[in-house]
Structure 1
Amino acid sequence: MRSMMMNFEELPKGIDGRKRAKCNYCKLEYIHDSRFDTGNLQRHTASCLKRKHHDISQLFLSQDSGSISFGSSKFDPERFRELLTEAIVMHDLPFNFVDYEGIKRLFIYLYKDVQLVTRNTAKADIINRYKKEKEIVKSLLDDAPGRISFTSDLWTSLTTDGYMCLTCHFIDNNWTLQKRVLSYTFMPPPHSGLALSTKIHNLLCEWGLEGIVFSITLDNAYTNDLSVDTLRDELNLKDLLVCKGDHFHMRCCAHILNLIVQEGMKGVDPSIVKIRESVKYVKGSQARKHKFLECVSLVSSENKGLSQDVSTRWNSTYLMLQNAIHHRRAFQHLDLIDSNYKYCRSKVEWEKIEQFCSFLKVLYDSTLMFYGTNYPTANLYFPAVYLCYIELKKQIEGDNEHLKVMASKMWLKLRSIGLNFVQLWLLHVCWIRVIR
């Protein structure tokens, strides 16, 4: 009776002395005295058109005594397996994730009649999902209004297994730059030019893209040159390339810049070595880290942390030096309170490091520009390379002997890659037109 009256408003007795109630939804009035009891109210509650749902208590249905669940939501086994597949791919989970006892108990708790899947079923679901996604990408590529460019890279894992990744870049019908990874595949040895060319050509044929290839961008390596020449000849046999493939091979500007800087940094200055040893010393134990943080707080400096460089990444050396310069006073204070610290630099050495960082900053900013993944870099290549050229010429003609030697090595490497003075002059003209 109480739950029934929640849907009605009791009204004062009428002239006839009978009790009445008004529906809270449609506002109709009904008699509910002892003669009619609540039957008419129940019938109206079931048929009221303006009442969008039943009693709120009916939304909660109990499957077991003491448990509450939403009766309006239904468990969809197919959707459950789709979400499980997405979770495995998204979080890079192993296939036997579904066999974990804790995960099984969790699934059963959420729905006691759930049909658990095995690792083989999870693997099959992921393969099927891959095939569906591949068809979607194929459809997108088929609708591309122009030709497609490609990038590829090859590397070796910690287990000495070789892998190759092939990525396509194109403009869709809405003039939006699109990028899709077509293949991440095992690449067994030998990693020769012929083997790489065969692998890329097979992937292009598998996706049906060999007839709309525009260019391919690879690292500046001799093996890649051989593979591109072989691939160009094979595609030219069917006359599939633009201008007979004269513009087919593009060299990665980020890799070229890395080779140039690495060449100049082969003879590292002793001041940089001292910085590296200082960072190693501070990071050598928790006690040293704590003592260095005390020095940072005493000199009222913001703690930006210390980063140790990696020999194969010159930009990590630049970041290491930048952080060290920021904590210059902290290192000087550490030298006063720690007798074991033997790598303190003089004022002249700190000035040399600052000059070195200023020189590398232009190259570092250009590297960041080239490493962008969400925008094309062709329109950024000319001004960035020209700024690097200006900086190299400035240091070659400058008074700093160390930077002059370093810039000269970089300049010779730049010339050996094939960028001559005529090309630099054209870069200058293009850059002037861009900024105007």
Structure 2
Amino acid sequence: MASKRKHSKVWNFFDSVDEKSAKCKYCKTVLSVAGGSQGNLSRHLKNKHPAALEETKRQTNESRQEANTPQIIGPQQQVITSFIQRPPAAGKAEKIDRQLVRMIAKGHHALRIVEEPDFKQLIDDVSNCPGYKMPTRKTLSNVLLPKLRDEIVGSVKEKMELASAVCLTTDCWTSLANESYIAVTAHFIESEATVMIACEAFVEQHSGQNLCAFLQKIAERWSIENKISAVVSDNAANIVNAIKTGNWPHIPCFAHSLNLIVQKGLREISVVQNKVKFIVEFFNRSTFGLKKLKSTQTQLNLPDLKLIQDVSTRWNSTFKMLERLVVLKDALILTLSTLRSELNLSQNEWAIVEELLPILKPFM
């Protein structure tokens, strides 16, 4: 049994529990190996981790190539064989492959990096592993990346199994391409661990029922159905309803709640706020006006700063817009009067803006 384990590449993906069982390194499933049979292990890899099985075959082929490499026997053997490029030992190749895929994943590199001449030259110059054969882009995509993902998922699952409680945060958004997405992040006490466990396209209607079904699916996928202590989200009715339907405690996102409070207060000065927006939009759209404003800033020895446009979903952007307006107040008044624009604020409106800043600043 020990001898077979030693020579079979299948055991690179399992830990021996005892003489009759082994545990998968990826999903932690315990399988029977009674009588020394490794059929269960191979079938498990084929059904659950096909990428790992492909890697096993690749390692086996490399080992065979190494075994079949001709050896020159004689007094000059050391000199001659030093020029023969042999495939590295399977374990060493696996280590290098893992480092390569980690570099690509962590550095957000394109898979085509392995096709770039400079990168190939870099690998060729690595002298600590002569004969190392770089995996193709297809191997990276179909074998090594899925393998790394399986390993990381297994590791995260193992950590969450030890956590007594898990808190989720979730949010939905629409991309510039008008595609809807939903993300779920898990938080648990394990050196203050935070892990994004889902970020997927969401093509269903954003109803409370559909969102609840998605959250339940994610919870089941990560085996945390009975560990969720709370779910944090914004105050949108559909996601709040989804969380309540799932019988999870809901905690409103503090930043979103704060935004709603401040936005409600800003309604009292909506007329002034809208006039400020029009001023900012004017200079953003008028090349001549912006050039004139910059010239005036230089004449008044004011910093070369741009006006800021606020975003309705981010109240602090309104504060930044008003704050920048006050910094450039003198330049704006002079420029707008020169352009004979009717966009300028009255003295009373300027006073409102200036008095509003110290009120909003503590919320930053």
TM-score for the superposition, normalised by structure 2: 0.64
Residue 309 of structure 2: SS of its match in structure 1? coil
Residue 256 of structure 1: SS of its match in structure 2? helix
Q: CA deviation at 1:189?
A: 0.5
Q: Gaps spanning 5+ residues in structure 2: where?
A: 1-82, 84-91, 126-130
1:346 equivalenced with 2:324 (yes/no): no
Give the stretch that moved more between structures: 193-202 or 340-349. 340-349
Give 2:241's aligned residue: 226
Give 1:289's aligned residue: 290
1:130 equivalenced with 2:131 (yes/no): no
Corresponding residue to 1:152 among 164, 167, 170: 170
Whether the 8 Å CA contact 1:107–1:114 is kept in 2: the answer is no
Question: What amino acid sits opposite 1:318 in the alignment?
Answer: F
Greater CA radius of gyration, 1 or 2?
1
Corresponding residue to 2:120 among 107, 119, 134: 107
Give the stretch that moved more between structures: 179-188 or 288-297. 288-297
Please list the CA deviations of residues 44-103 of structure 1 after superposition, one character each: whole Å capped at 9, or x if unmatched: xxxxxxxxxxxxxxxxxxx9xxxxxxxxxxxx754554344234333434444544xxx1
Q: CA deviation at 1:321?
A: 0.7
Give 1:275's aligned residue: 276
Q: How many residues align?
A: 269
1:82 equivalenced with 2:98 (yes/no): yes
Structure 1 CA distance for aligned equivalents of residues 121 and 133 of structure 2: 9
Whether the 8 Å CA contact 2:113–2:119 is kept in 1: the answer is no
Whether the 8 Å CA contact 1:108–1:114 is kept in 2: the answer is no
Q: Cα distance 1:108–1:283, how it changes in 2: closer, same or farther (>3 A)?
A: same
Question: What amino acid sits opposite 1:356 in the alignment?
Answer: L
Give 1:189's aligned residue: 204
Structure 1 CA distance for aligned equivalents of residues 285 and 359 of structure 2: 30
Give 1:167's aligned residue: 185
Whether the 8 Å CA contact 2:279–2:343 is kept in 1: the answer is yes
Q: CA deviation at 1:110?
A: 4.8
What does 1:414-425 align with in structure 2 at a 5 Å threshold?
Answer: none
Please list the CA deviations of residues 371-414 of structure 1 after superposition, one character each: whole Å capped at 9, or x if unmatched: xxxxxxxxxxxxxxxxxxxxxxxxxxxxxxxxxxxxxxxxxxxx
Please list the CA deviations of residues 120-152 of structure 1 after superposition, one character each: whole Å capped at 9, or x if unmatched: 2222322211111112212222333x3221111
Give 2:326's aligned residue: 325
Give 2:68's aligned residue: none
Q: Cα distance 1:226–1:87, how it changes in 2: closer, same or farther (>3 A)?
A: same
Structure 1 CA distance for aligned equivalents of residues 345 and 245 of structure 2: 54
Whether the 8 Å CA contact 2:212–2:246 is kept in 1: the answer is yes
Give 2:361's aligned residue: 361
Whether the 8 Å CA contact 1:215–1:250 is kept in 2: the answer is yes
Structure 2 CA distance for aligned equivalents of residues 109 and 178 of structure 1: 36
Whether the 8 Å CA contact 1:274–1:345 is kept in 2: the answer is yes
Give 1:262's aligned residue: 263
Residue 285 of structure 2: SS of its match in structure 1? coil
Q: Gaps spanning 5+ residues in structure 1: where?
A: 1-62, 64-75, 233-244, 366-436
Q: CA deviation at 1:268?
A: 5.2
Structure 2 CA distance for aligned equivalents of residues 297 and 314 of structure 1: 30
Give 2:213's aligned residue: 198
Give 1:40's aligned residue: none
Whether the 8 Å CA contact 2:171–2:234 is kept in 1: the answer is yes
Q: CA deviation at 1:325?
A: 0.4
Give 2:162's aligned residue: 143
Q: CA deviation at 1:318?
A: 1.6
Whether the 8 Å CA contact 2:114–2:120 is kept in 1: the answer is no
Question: What amino acid sits opposite 1:108 in the alignment?
Answer: Q
Q: CA deviation at 1:153?
A: 1.4
Q: CA deviation at 1:303?
A: 3.5
Whether the 8 Å CA contact 1:104–1:116 is kept in 2: the answer is no
Whether the 8 Å CA contact 2:170–2:184 is kept in 1: the answer is yes
Structure 2 CA distance for aligned equivalents of residues 197 and 119 of structure 1: 38
Question: What amino acid sits opposite 2:101 in the alignment?
Answer: T
Whether the 8 Å CA contact 1:281–1:341 is kept in 2: the answer is no
Q: CA deviation at 1:225?
A: 3.1
Residue 345 of structure 1: SS of its match in structure 2? coil
Q: CA deviation at 1:323?
A: 0.4
Whether the 8 Å CA contact 1:318–1:360 is kept in 2: the answer is yes
Give 1:211's aligned residue: 226
Q: Cα distance 1:127–1:318, how it changes in 2: closer, same or farther (>3 A)?
A: same
Corresponding residue to 1:92 among 108, 111, 115: 108
Residue 260 of structure 2: SS of its match in structure 1? helix
Q: Cα distance 1:275–1:156, how it changes in 2: closer, same or farther (>3 A)?
A: closer
Whether the 8 Å CA contact 2:174–2:180 is kept in 1: the answer is yes
Q: CA deviation at 1:324?
A: 0.6
Give 1:391's aligned residue: none
Give 1:305's aligned residue: 306
Q: CA deviation at 1:111?
A: 0.9
Structure 1 CA distance for aligned equivalents of residues 361 and 329 of structure 2: 18
Give 2:52's aligned residue: none
Whether the 8 Å CA contact 2:307–2:321 is kept in 1: the answer is yes
Q: Which has the higher contact order (CA 8 A, sep 6+)?
A: 2
Kindly, what percent of the aligned residue pairs are identical?
Answer: 25
Structure 2 CA distance for aligned equivalents of residues 160 and 196 of structure 1: 18
